[in-house]
Amino acid sequence: MSDVNGSIGPHAVRLQEARINNIAVPVFPLEVFPDAVQKLIMDADERMHYGIEFTGCSLLFAAASAIGNSCVVEMNPDWQEGVTLWLVLVGHPGTGKGHALKRTLKSIERQDSQRYSLYLEDMQAYKKALTKFQREKKNNPGESSEEPQAPILKKTILSDTTPEKMARVHADNPRGICLHVDELAGWLQTFNRYNTSNAQKTFNSSWSRQAIVIDRVHSGSIRIEVPCIMVGGTIQPKILSELMAERRGDDGFTHRLLFSYPASKARAWNRDAIDQSMFTEWDQAMRRLLELPYENGESFVKTVLRFSPDAWALLHDWQNLLVQESNRERRSYIKGVSAKIEQYAIRFSLIIQMIRYAYREDSKDKVGIEAVGAAIKLAEYFRKSHQQIIEEIDSHSPLDDLAEDKLAVYDALPEEFKRSEGIPIAFSKGMKERTADRFIKDTRYFRKKSQGMYAKLL
């Protein structure tokens, strides 16, 4: 064990050496999963072109969504950590990022579908009972009988939803909900449609497992004591700057995001028949996680795990290293990311432990050192991926957004030029005069120095 300002323990020495030797572009640590899951990830990449990083992250997210509030890990009597993840898969169109996330959530989708079928049956029965109740009440006004209660549709996965509707669905399913958004840009637009600061505050509170309350004049109040709201989706690289815009990082909102941004490319379809049986064992493991008890009538039960002594020592030493590094960091944004990664490491430990349990490789009695070692690797992967995103945004140039024909014209133009000189150059590159005239007046790329005189800005 160690203290923040003192010497570090033996676990931390190995971690420090590993970090020094692993400062390149983040590589997803496939070895954090049981062997059967590793094989699934590689098969899904080879046969279905899902991508190792996207599949690994999606499996982690799906497992957390299945666990929900059913399990927590106890840090101390006043601090229990859950499994909430906010996952952002970054990639160009055709890289398989959305397919991986959708397939890994299929077991939960099936559960939601079965619940909906039962809900429709219950609704039919309710309507008949209500009609009978109203008829008897009219015919026998002096006799009192209990009015039938409308059935409740319990579901886990949501897509496009308002903050109020999301809270209502969560109230009906206190185990937890999963906001699966194919394009996360739509999630951000939801914040813009409603009160941005209040929406972000609500999500931030839910991430921290703090009670959330939504008050509406006409529909009353909704209170979620222990929220568990997963958020997972995809985004294209060119929209990343929008995700970080509008000062979303000021309140720690973007610090909570887990990015995966591999160097992936679109690939040709696999013309061979796809054998979906590769997911059979995963679907069985997901069902085992979904069967973990939580609701017991009007009360809730949950499995409370604690760290084994060696697992706690490893986690403590790693956190000590991270704190020391964060204290040396000058950029406040990166400090904020590191603070959230500390909590994520705890959550990853619990999720990996429960995945090992679901594959019958371990118990759910405690969080062991294998799970913590895997969690640290995941935390480091996501920490470096987030830094990668920030560095890319900071180095982004408006020229990156130009089509090839316009970029060719821009490169051909001198640093300063007259309009009468620039238009012929653009024309020689295949650009029409009207298009060229609009282009050189674009203030993102050119500055007008005087009448008919322009200068390149980049």
13-31 residue pLDDT tens: 444 443 334 435 689 999 9
Angle in degrees, 0-180, between the axes of helices 106-139 and 52-67, rounded to the nearest 10? 30
**Model confidence at 97: pLDDT above 90:** no
Topology given in CATH for the domain delimited by 10-113+152-394:
Rossmann fold (3.40.50)
**Model confidence at 3: pLDDT above 80:** no
164-215 residue pLDDT tens: 888 899 999 999 999 998 888 777 766 655 555 577 888 899 999 999 888 7
Check residue 452 and give left, alpha or beta (phi > 0: left; psi -120 to 50: alpha): left
Q: Which two tokens stand for residue 289?
A: 């996680």
65-94 residue pLDDT tens: 999 999 999 999 999 999 999 999 998 887
Beta strands (DSSP E) in 145-291 are 157-158, 177-183, 212-216, 220-224, 229-235, 258-260
**Model confidence at 273: pLDDT above 90:** no
What is the predicted pLDDT for the residue at 186? Answer: 73
What is the predicted pLDDT for the residue at 52? Answer: 93
356-365 residue pLDDT tens: 999 999 999 9
Q: What mean pLDDT do residues 417-421 have?
A: 93
Instruction: Give the C-alpha separation, 313 to 371, whole Å.
Output: 13
Instruction: Provide the 8-state DSSP code for 91.
Output: -
213-227 residue pLDDT tens: 887 656 678 899 999
